[in-house]
Chain A
Amino acid sequence: MITLHSDAQRGRLLLLALVLSHLLIITRQVDAGGGLSLLEASVLNVLSPLQRAVAAIFSTVGAVADGYVNLRHVREDNQRLAERLRAVEIELSETRQMAQEAGRLRTLLDLRASLPLQTTVGEVIATEGVPWASMITINKGSGQGLALNAPVISPTGVLGRVIALGHSAAKVQLIIDRDAGVGVLIERSRTRGVLGGQRPETLSAQGELPLKYIPALADVVVGDAVVTSGLDQIFPKGLMVGHVSRVQAGTALLKEVWVTPSARFDQLEEVLVLPKLDETPSFPSTVQ
């Protein structure tokens, strides 16, 4: 048995113990072959599966989070592109409309230039809201020189006449209105008649109008051009109205003749208003 005789002896033993224990502790921490001390390697081996599991969980959660973030970005991109596509479609539609409007106006200007009288271009600002609308409102009125019963035409044919007049707007009765009537003649045979309107419910899909008072012996065939006769004191003579689309026997004295107007009443946007007839000369030939 070791007996400690003094503090000095005890101190030396303590020093020895301290040095040895520390050397042992340090040695166990210093690299042992694989770059890790035995203590660290043991701790690592025990804890690494847990660390791997935690890492796998974080990796999975991270991947899901990344996927969600990416999905959100894709969705945002999709929404943005869809909005852009809608905007481009609207721009394209507007461009097309402008091109169509330019084409119509060019046609209208050509017609206007071909007419030997002062005309007024009007824009349709209101209709009755149905395809067979028989009344339209234009943005020109007495302030722009329009008069009651002034003829209204389009590049494709006669449209109607002004029946109500405001300072800057006018109401136009179309020739398809059941109360309308236009003095016309068959251009080829010079047979006169009256083109009447139709009730909306009886208007056919082709928009045929009855040509009244055509004698049974008159020379009328399908396809004949029908122009204004000027006898109604409203429309100047020689304006294009339409073509004969149907000819039937009718009564003993009269034929049943149907005319398809050349004007497109369902696509009206711009019109030409002519001066009132007493100010208008007759046309030497048909204006088409």
Chain B
Amino acid sequence: MKIAWVALALATALLVQTSISLLAPGYARLVDPFLLVLIYRGLAYGETEGLLAGAAAGWVQDIHFGGRIIGIGGLVKGVIGYLVGLLGSRFVISGIGSRLLVLCVASLLDVLIYEWLTLAFDVGAERLPLDLTLWRALINAALGASSFALVERHLRREPR
């Protein structure tokens, strides 16, 4: 059942990302619905769930939207999922402010680790400017916090 929910969430993320890519290609990099899936998963179910959800999300993203190297996204998002899950299991992150902070930091880490890995492996991916990186963190935080609230209202389940 857990896997089905994760698969449904990833499919929804894929749909959203594809729609943004088609409708507003210039803004596609500013929104990362896959990141939101793994953060919610990590906050709600801990580091193992966050790790697995992050790896799956990263692979789906790599395959559909990535470059010629497959796996960097999976690694980055797996690590972020683990870290978020670790935070979620150690601290109570249910308030809007703490969630916004976690989402912002996770989004920044996502970009930073990804770019560091592409540099390390000399993949040569296009780098996101700093201002766009910050905008991306804010947008993902806003979208994540609101979507988490919507999901929790429907599932009536609070993250740990």
Contact = CB atoms under 8 A, between A and B. Distances in A.
A-B complex is real: yes
Nearest to B117: A26
Interface string A24-59: 011101110000000000000000000000000000
A18 B78 contact: yes
A11 interface: yes
Contact of A22 (B47, B52, B78, B123): B78
Contacts of B33: none
Given A11-B47, A14-B51, A18-B78, A25 B70 contact: yes
A26 B72 contact: yes
A139 B78 CA distance: 108
Contacts, number: 57
B126 interface: no
Contact of A15 (B74, B78, B122, B123): B78
Interface string B36-64: 00000000001110011001000000000
Main SS class of interface, B: helix
A19 B55 CA distance: 10
| Contact residues on B (Cβ < 8 Å of other chain), bracket | 20 to 34
B79 interface: yes
Interface of B: 46-48, 51-52, 55, 68-72, 74-75, 78-79, 82, 85-86, 89, 117, 121-123
17 contacts: A7-B46, A8-B47, A8-B89, A11-B47, A11-B85, A14-B48, A14-B52, A15-B47, A15-B51, A18-B55, A18-B75, A19-B75, A22-B55, A22-B72, A25-B70, A29-B71, A30-B123
